[in-house]
Amino acid sequence: MTTLQIGDKAPNFSGTDQDGNTHKLADYAGKKLVVFFYPKANTPGCTAEACDLRDNYERFQANNYALLGVSADAQKAQAKFKEKYDFPFPLLADEDKSVINAFGVWGPKKFMGKEYDGIHRTTFVINEEGIIADIISKVKTKEHADQILK
């Protein structure tokens, strides 16, 4: 699980979005970047979280934030998710888990008594200099924008 802490330099990630475009940390220099990790596209909690961020997108833009969603879903699944809910931000299809592992959000989980490995819903707020300004591990899916823009 994540060993990253507030004040650490953000991992120098590189990932591909739903359209095949590459995104890396350097692309967001001079902007605040919200990197939100979610377990699976088109599931109720992930949809609620991403829709809350979408509905507050203008607030993020007004405060110089860029948003980037990340899950291990395939590019096609991310494209359908983005299109279905009209998300104004890219979704990384991190099938090899390189970004997920760089941020340390992959690990053991428990659901209905079963243990398995998966993505822990975690959000990292990175400042204009590439330093982690906040880490939100107790994500409230329907109020996530307020958690970030507090």
Catalytic positions: 46
Query: Structure tokens of 146?
Result: 């307020």
In our burial notation (b when 16+ CB lie closer than 10 A, e otherwise), range 31-47 reads ebbbbbbbbebeeeebb
Query: Are the C-beta atoms of 125 and 140 separated by less than 8 Å?
Result: no
- Spatial separation of the C-alpha atoms in residues 66 and 64, rounded to whole Å: 7
Residue type, 150: K
